[in-house]
A and B are shown apart, each in its own frame.
Chain A
Amino acid sequence: MLNQPRIQKATGLRLFWATMWARAYPRIVGALRERSWMFFETFLPVLAVAGYVFLYRAIQAPAEYTGFAVLGGAMTAFWLNVLWSMASQLYWDKDQGNLELYVLSPGPLMAVLLGMAVGGLVMTATRASVIIVLCSWLFHVQYQIADPLLLAVIFVVTMAALYGMGMLFASVFLVAGREAWHLSNLLQEPIYLASGFYFPVKALGMWAATFASVIPLTLGLDAMRQLMFSGDPTLGFLSPRVELAVLAVLAVIFISVAYAALTKLEQVGRRQGRLIERRR
């Protein structure tokens, strides 16, 4: 085998595609091999949802509030995935020695990040689906889906914006070093509140909800609730189509800024030696 002729290697878009799926692979396969998530990442969110469901029932809130809490509970899986498996990942990869190999390979770093996002999204969507099915069955949630196509588009665009933000965070957290852990902790709980994971975000008031809309899940969740539980339209913050437009803009901004940040990170890293140092 040592005497074989030179082998062909993909470049351009084919290399991008190959790199992206190669990086997605450990996420997808890893989740199938490490099955503890089936308990921790489904049972525990169900408990959190149950708390809100019983609260809403106790105060005799409209029936759709049960559905709001269930959908919010399912979407927490995406937020946790973005925080812990996207934003902090490059820092951990650096610590493990993988980042050096990513930078060293011709596969674009953006494809590596996108692969992390795609792999995370695939697995997290499975978890979120399990939570929805389980909670819907437990709490007898009734869905009235008004526009399935719009709902699907809003979900996809929300995910693009959310994981775009995760990609941006990945560069920022890498610069932050070991404080990345604290940053993730810092962002985890407040966003549950600010994005209205368990209640309609409109309840926060216009200004707070507007600020919270920077987090793509805020508007995504609000729009999906409006389309899945066509009860009282006044419970929504903005109309689903407006929210879709804002989410699309957020997706473009986050992905573009993530790309710029990654390019800058590599330049600064090569200049300052940050790609190769391991601070503890």
Chain B
Amino acid sequence: MSAILTENVGRVYKLRGPKRKDDPKEVVALQGVNLEVPAGELFGLLGPNGAGKTTLIKILTTLLLPTSGRAQVQGLDVATHAQEIRRRISMVSGGETSGYGLLTVEENLWMFARFYGLDSKVARQRIAELLDVVGLQDRSRTKISDLSTGLRQKMNFIRGFISDPDVVFLDEPTLGLDVAAARQVRDFVLRWMKAHPDRTLLLTTHYMAEADELCNRLAIIDKGKLLALDTPTNLKRRLRRDTVYTLRVAPLGQRPVDSSTMLEAVPGVRQVTITDVEGAQELNLILEADDALSGVLQHLNQRGSSLLALEKRDPTLEDVFINLVGRRLDEDTAGTKEDK
């Protein structure tokens, strides 16, 4: 039995009150998603904002019904066995503001633990232990209204593990955390999975390194569609026959109107993404072979730019994503760059 199974899952949101006649009346958030996650796997969903990751998690956690297809958790259908599924799962979203500000960290966690039917004494014991694991034990009696965003997120994070769930859904769990706190969260996830080989964890993220480090397998999702599904190593291996370069160049100026004179049109260039970096521009290039580089340099020269630095590197998941989607992961589905 799979821990998570989806068959052609789709979700369409009807938009309320379109202002003009030609405004869209619905948004397709997911279409034809097929997934099978066996028990014991740490599975990742990687995609930009608006890709459909959260919608899929909400369906799997019984908060939302699919408009097509079917989804199962622990062999139970999300549409018909919501209550049974809820006993077996938990979910934590990054940036959550849940809980009651007047309660302390310990009290908030206790309240949610009781919603899962934990004995009061057992709940307090688990809370103390988990707070210790994430280094929050000295804040157990702090009101959550007095916690920083990062500490509050840590508290929410351990809430997901107090109820001893079979399947944990983590939606961007390290969103907004500082480097050390994010590290702590990732370490905890890995230790928890190691200690509970029969449990399953589904994690959504748009941090490549996180997905690469944590996940046994990954699905890349964009505009509601699953584009690829494999281990991080195999996904990167897909690009191994290509070569990946990062070039730092003097600003290229206006993008040419004629597509035949664009960088993408240089023979041997598969993908290009351009990012502004401190008065220069960084080009991430996926080339069919090394010899395509000379054409790229010639093109830069013709556009009045000059090479400042060049690095040949192994493909990353970011490159895999760019190769599949045609843009960077930190751009949302509308192609807008995310503020960071």
Contact = CB atoms under 8 A, between A and B. Distances in A.
Interface of A: 1-3, 6-11, 14-15, 18-19, 21-23, 25-26, 29-30, 33-34, 96-98, 100-107, 112, 270-273, 275-276
A8 B121 CA distance: 12
16 contacts: A1-B132, A2-B133, A7-B118, A7-B126, A7-B164, A10-B118, A21-B114, A26-B103, A26-B107, A98-B98, A104-B86, A104-B89, A104-B91, A105-B115, A107-B117, A275-B64
B61 interface: yes
Interface string B101-138: 01100010011101111111010001001101100000
A34 B114 contact: no
B46 interface: no
Given A2-B195, A107-B115, A26 B87 contact: no
A1 to B, nearest CB: 4
B98 A106 contact: no
For B14, B111, B122, the residue with the greatest tally of chain A CB atoms inside 10 Å of its CB is: B111
Interface residues of B, number: 47
Given A1-B133, A102-B115, 8 more contacts: A1-B126, A97-B96, A97-B98, A98-B100, A100-B63, A103-B62, A104-B89, A106-B83
Nearest to A100: B63
A279 to B, nearest CB: 9
Nearest to B67: A271
B117 A9 contact: yes
A106 to B, nearest CB: 5
Contacts of B63: 100, 103-104, 270, 275-276
Given A3-B195, A22-B111, A270-B63, A105 B86 contact: yes
A22 B120 CA distance: 10
A268 B313 CA distance: 51
Contacts of A15: 117
A1 B115 contact: no
B183 interface: no
3 shortest A-B CB distances, which residue pairs? A22-B114, A10-B117, A107-B115
B292 to A, nearest CB: 46
A101 B191 CA distance: 25
Chain A interface helix/strand/loop/mixed = helix
Interface of B: 13-14, 58, 61-65, 82-83, 86-87, 89-91, 93, 96-100, 102-103, 107, 110-112, 114-120, 122, 126, 129-130, 132-133, 143, 163-164, 191-192, 195-196
Contacts of A10: 117-119
A102 B91 CA distance: 11
Nearest to B61: A104
A21 B89 CA distance: 22
Contacts of B87: 9, 11, 106
B115 A8 contact: no
Contacts of B120: 18
B116 A97 contact: no
B272 to A, nearest CB: 37
A105 B89 CA distance: 8
A273 B102 contact: no
Contacts of A275: 63-64
B122 A104 contact: no
A7 B97 CA distance: 27
Contacts of B195: 2-3
B114 to A, nearest CB: 4
A267 B92 CA distance: 22
Contact of B102 (A19, A26, A104): A26
Contacts of B93: 97
A23 B111 contact: yes
A275 B86 CA distance: 15
Nearest to B82: A270
B119 A8 contact: yes
Contacts of B117: 9-11, 14-15, 18, 106-107
A276 B64 contact: yes
A256 B325 CA distance: 52
Nearest to B101: A30
B97 A97 contact: yes
A2 B192 contact: yes
Contacts of B130: 1
Contacts of A2: 133, 191-192, 195-196
For A6, A7, A26, A112, the residue with the greatest tally of chain B CB atoms inside 10 Å of its CB is: A7
Given A1-B130, A2-B195, A101-B98, A273 B13 contact: yes
